[in-house]
Amino acid sequence: MDVATLAAAAALAEFDAAMARIGFAQAQRDAIIESSGCRNMAMIRLLTADQVSKICKRISTRADNPIPIKTIQEQFLLLCDIGLLQNNAFNFQ
């Protein structure tokens, strides 16, 4: 693997770990990544609070395989925007 591929994999692992600390199950994490297109912390920080809310609503109300997302999980996801979920600063499980 080249350096860029390794860096992308590390960033995705960090993002996945942050989502796990929020309490998202694997299916929820996969849905957030798929629906938002975000694959790392930097990308999720580009989204506004309204965009995060819309993504969560889309995931939980989609016709095919809706996945519930709790309000508190959505709020914790918004904390990604200010970097509070990096480096194991919090564990919300």
Cα separation, 73 vs 79, whole angstroms: 10
Query: Each residue of 59-78: pLDDT tens digit?
Result: 999 998 899 999 999 888 88
| Sign of the torsion formed by the C-alpha atoms of 6, 10, 15 and 20 | positive
What's the pLDDT tens digit per position in 18-41?
889 888 999 999 999 999 999 888
Q: What is the pLDDT of residues 39-59, one digit of tens each?
A: 888 888 888 889 999 999 999
- pLDDT value, residue 67: 93
Which residues have C-beta within 8 Å of that of residue 67, sequence separation ≥ 6?
27, 28, 31, 59, 60
| 81: three-class secondary structure by DSSP | helix
**Structure pTM?**
0.78
Parse the chain into domains and list their residue ranges: 3-88
